[in-house]
Structure 1
Amino acid sequence: MEAVVEATDLEKTYGETVALAGASLAVDRGEVFALIGPNGAGKTTLVRALTGTTEPDGGRARLLGEPPTAVDRGRLGVLPQEFSPPGRLSARELLSYYAGLYDDPRDPDDVLADVGLADAGDTWYEDLSGGQQRRVCVGSALVNDPDVCFLDEPTTGIDPAGRRTVWRLIEDLADRGTTVVLTTHDMAEAERLADRVGLLADGSLVAQGSPEALVREHGGASRLTVETAADPEAFDDLEYPVERPERGRDRSSTGAVVVRDIEPAEIGAVVDFLEAEGIEYTELSWAEPDLEDVYLALADRTERERTARLGDAGGDGDGDELARAGETA
């Protein structure tokens, strides 16, 4: 069976900036595929190439079995990262306008209810909160009941309750057979929604798979974070590996060390060690690896490899970073 969304070795450059460097993926009917990656990795360029709004320099994109530019636009829903509709139209008027572009659209009031704005239909767009505005934008991508939906950071600026409303909506779409490709910086969002996740770095998909498979392969070991001012050397006699966290998620304002590769049943042994050694601590927290660990590990690895390449080429990387400033996602 042919994939609904397919990219084969897509390439795209803007001047000297490489936005896509051989990106490949395939997404099946009813699948939710999440693209994650650092700013400047090429996510938005890849979405544009897949929807036919950017012509790639090399490779091939296919959408519903056709070149993207040949597909009936009524079968697609596209939410760009930047979307600024007229502010002096109400939420209902905006959705009615977009509904009018299609032959058989959904009722705008039903769409408002789906995105959690049934009571805000008469409010001007400019008077809605930022999160409500984003939900109206999500609704505009769904008003034609698309077969394939591309959502570029759909929940940016939406509060937690509204975010969950959008998540449930995306899950319902997939359950009804809609294929969804979304980009996100929210690892919890990707982990909850996506059947598969692709990490894009330097214009290439460096890893793809289900969230569970990616965590198993790249997430590392479980960890026990000990909030303490003590140095890792104080834990030399502990039987588990201990390190000072290098990444922000395990750090605290008072200091911390991380005990790696430890199961919950073994936490008592660490507590006994702390008490025996007289090491003061304020908190213990245990966690399994998750998609954020995968993201950080792969992004760190890619950055080190890129830095090494630049070093071998005699550059310091500043020009590359400045060139990437024009690519927003």
Structure 2
Amino acid sequence: MNPTIKDVAKRANVSIATVSRVLNNLGGYSDKTKQKVNEVIRELGYQPNAIARGLINKRTHTIGVLFPNVSSAFSSDILQGVEDYAHGRNYSIVVCNTDDDGKRTLKYLQLLREKQVDGIIFSSSVLKEEYYEAIQAMNVPVVLVSSESNYATVPYVKVDDCLAACDAVEYLIGKGHRKIAMISGGKEDVLAGSPRVDGYLRALQKHQIPFDSRYLVYGDFRFESGCIQFEALLQTVPDVTAVFAASDEMAIGVLSAAYKLGIRIPDDISVIGFDGVQLSNMVVPPLTTVSQPLQEMGKIAAETLIRSIETGETAEGIIVSHSIVERQTVRTLT
């Protein structure tokens, strides 16, 4: 028979309420008592029942996290930051892969409602009205990561995508490049697609470089589209000297396609990515990129959400800083 909270209290010679307070980090006990209770929990192999705890404190200490592509390096880095902070506060994570499908997102929100999660982290997708209404009906807080919404009460954690893209292109211009192509995300993507294109155009205009639409192509932020769109660029603008890819995965696709075509990076063409995922430092040559602090963004999102869960406070949106990480895929033109 599995040990109960009563068994823990009896063995530790404390009240059931004290054991509950230790489990929920509520304070009101000495360090010696906490140590004794945790020692008994380990000895008995006691596993707290999240639902039973929820009946007592109205919480399950569970957070839902929704990603459109949970297998991407981008999502993985954010999730690492979320988990590191949440687990340190004794919260569990339920990860949902929405796959850019509205129906799947609503199904996952219903699942999270049934599991009585305490809050939701919504990443890299537009918070549509139907999603917002579903979360409102759950009566739990939500925090957006790498996303924004039209709802003033919904906090977000993100970089300034337009400014970061502008800085990436200005970095290439500073290295002497003027024939600069961009592989963007989707045309309809208002979160990271159009703002990064705006940054590209702003940098060209600032340095009086005429915009040529042939140098701007659209992918979907993923590896395969980087390969395909780079080959398309070579057909239409063979004089290109540098490529700004709106994600590291697409930039790595460019490196792969260039290798297969016998094009040397950066000797023949320079490449800069966007995101700063861990994989960008593992490819050959290591990728120069405009980096978002993805793990830190995940940590901030989890911290913001848990604070809202525990205090009822509504946080404001947070813009985090980006940085240019120089590696080996950009050369200076002489």
TM-score (norm 1): 0.29
Report which structure shows greater RCO (CA 8 Å, sep ≥6).
1
Which structure has more helix as a fraction of its residues?
2
Which structure has more strand as a fraction of its residues?
1
